[in-house]
Amino acid sequence: MRQALRDREDAAGPPSALRRPSLSHVWVAVAILAPVLVISSAQLSTIDLTYLIRAGEIMLDEGRLLHVDPFTATAAGLEWANQQWLAEILLALAFRAGGWLGLALLRGVLSIAVLTLIFLACRLQGAPRKPAAWLTLAAGVLLPGAFMLRPQLFGMVCFALVLWLLVARELRPKGVLALPVVTILWANLHGSFVLAPVLIGLASLDERQRRGAQTIRLAVVGAASLVATLANPLGARVWTYAVELTTDPVIGRVVLEWQPPSIRTYAGAAFFSSVAGVAFLLSRLPRPIPRSTYLTLGIFFAIALPATRGLVWWAMAAPVALAAALPRTVRPGRDPANSLNLALIGLVCVGVVIALAPWFGHADREDPGERFLVFAPPGITQALEDVLEPGQVVFNPQAWGSWFEFRFPENPVTTDSRFEVIPDQVWELNEEVSDGAEGWQDILDRWGVDIAVLTEMQQAGLVPRMRDDPGWRLVYEDEDGLVFVRA
């Protein structure tokens, strides 16, 4: 039935579709490229990205994997379970090849790959072209925040690829043999690799219920994929790393995306709206819904509910699960094919190029400025350039730690984005210093801090105390923050 549907819809053949695409082809272009247009015009967030680039460059230069902290004064020499090492190297290579432009292009390519695989999986589930495009567009609406350039985006590509390979198993039975290879890559790119066995397990249950021919093959591939997760520098430690990261109390308390989704945020409101939309759609579908659809939706809803970061997997899995429940026959209706549709597709493509155009002047390592980067304060950066000497330690707001590690590689910071590396005691002391609690001077002395970068938001209690302390001198202040040096 699925093959017949595809043959009927694509009877014109690829050359004809390219010359005179139908209106449904326009929807496909919009579904895949419209979200990419939005993300391509957005700033790059340095909060994770820049420390990852520096880590990748260190590994490329020294020819070894990083396994101890090289960035901070508070965790120097401590073990770093660097599970994302491969993503760091890929980011460093993209930056070396094309600077900030290379990173922007990489973000666009990975985003297109995710959405294309979702669309193809929806089609293979039996959804006609236009509904498959609508489901893909719905995923794109839910995913803007997830398209930030960081290891998770590589993990999203792996997730979508595994999903597509599993859905395509009827048409390409041998395709599932690639799953262990994808899992090996995934286990070295991002901690979400734990979802590979989940997806394979769901497909195995579906195959057993339908008494399909690939039940045994999927069981063997699933077992091989579990073993494949151990093919990484950490071995079995990669699993405890993933568990510890998701259950760390400091991360759950401090990092917003590790907190439950809230209707007060775009991501949370979009998630709960999508859940309501899915429930409504299921209630209106005429034919019996496959059990695998309910099971997939339930599992990924449960993954998304405890932490906003889990919404990304719901956004990719839900459309494909729904596609299996949609009617598999094409309703009679007009799907005109003409040159206007080609012009509309071209317009969407031009929009993506226009969104990327400003980046083309930054195919180098030079700081492109606040128009292109977020969490990279320009005035503070220039002030630090003027006063920092090699080896001096910087007390910093956590969100700027990654940028300082990249921009000033010879100067250790006190905190950065790696909550799993920096000890909990350091985070507690960091809060005491930021609050200006009694003894804050002693803590900074113990850490060997020479320069203090503060913001009114994160160090509201410390700013007035440091202003009044004769041991510190204010050398710079703007709307972003303040820079103090020891008197």
Give the gyration radius of the chain's Cα atoms: 25
Tokens of 62: 């020294």
pLDDT at residue 335 in the model: 82
What is the DSSP-derived secondary structure letter of residue 22? B
Strand partners, 393: 449
User: For residue 395, which phi and psi values (nearest 5 degrees)?
Assistant: -85, 130
Quick check: 394 and 404 in contact, CB under 8 A? yes
Tokens of 71: 């960035």
Query: To 5 degrees, how large is the angle CA 269–CA 270–CA 276?
Result: 90
Q: What is the mean pLDDT of the chain?
A: 91
Q: Is 453 helix (H, G, I), strand (E, B) or coil?
A: strand
The tokens 């299921």 sit on which residue?
Answer: 282
At 105-115, the pLDDT tens digits run: 999 999 999 99
Q: Which residues, at least 6 apart from 333, have a Cβ–Cβ distance to it below 8 Å?
A: none
pLDDT at residue 187 in the model: 97
Averaged pLDDT for residues 55-78:
95
User: For residue 349, which phi and psi values (nearest 5 degrees)?
Assistant: -65, -40
Q: Which residues, at least 6 apart from 347, have a Cβ–Cβ distance to it below 8 Å?
A: none
Q: Which of 39, 298, 246 is nearest to 143 (CA)?
A: 39
Quick check: 462 and 454 in contact, CB under 8 A? yes
Averaged pLDDT for residues 352-364:
94
At 30-48, the pLDDT tens digits run: 999 999 999 999 999 999 9
pLDDT at residue 432 in the model: 96
Q: Which of 377, 374, 388, 393 is nearest to 481 (CA)?
A: 377
Averaged pLDDT for residues 4-21:
50
In the chain, pLDDT over 90 holds for what percent of residues? Answer: 79
Amino acid at 381: T
Q: How confident is the model at residue 405 (pLDDT cuts 50, 70, 90)?
A: very high
Please tell me which residue, 209 or 363, carries the higher pLDDT value.
363
Give the separation between CA 221 and CA 209, rounded to whole angstroms: 18
Give the separation between CA 83 and CA 437, rounded to whole angstroms: 36
Give the separation between CA 251 and CA 164, rounded to whole angstroms: 32
At 424-451, the pLDDT tens digits run: 999 999 999 999 999 999 999 999 999 9
Averaged pLDDT for residues 381-390:
96
Quick check: 123 and 59 in contact, CB under 8 A? no
| The model's pTM | 0.93
Give the separation between CA 61 and CA 360, rounded to whole angstroms: 27
Give the separation between CA 373 and CA 403, rounded to whole angstroms: 10
Q: Is 474 helix (H, G, I), strand (E, B) or coil?
A: strand
Tokens of 439: 């003894």
Q: Which of 477, 332, 480 is nearest to 399 (CA)?
A: 480
Give the separation between CA 271 and CA 427, rounded to whole angstroms: 31
Give the separation between CA 297 and CA 266, rounded to whole angstroms: 21
pLDDT at residue 408 in the model: 97
Amino acid at 9: E
pLDDT at residue 19 in the model: 65
Amino acid at 332: P
The tokens 């599970």 sit on which residue?
Answer: 83
At 269-303, the pLDDT tens digits run: 999 999 999 999 998 887 788 888 999 999 999 99
Q: Which of 336, 335, 324, 332 is nearest to 2 (CA)?
A: 324
Beta strands 44-45 and 393-395 are unpaired
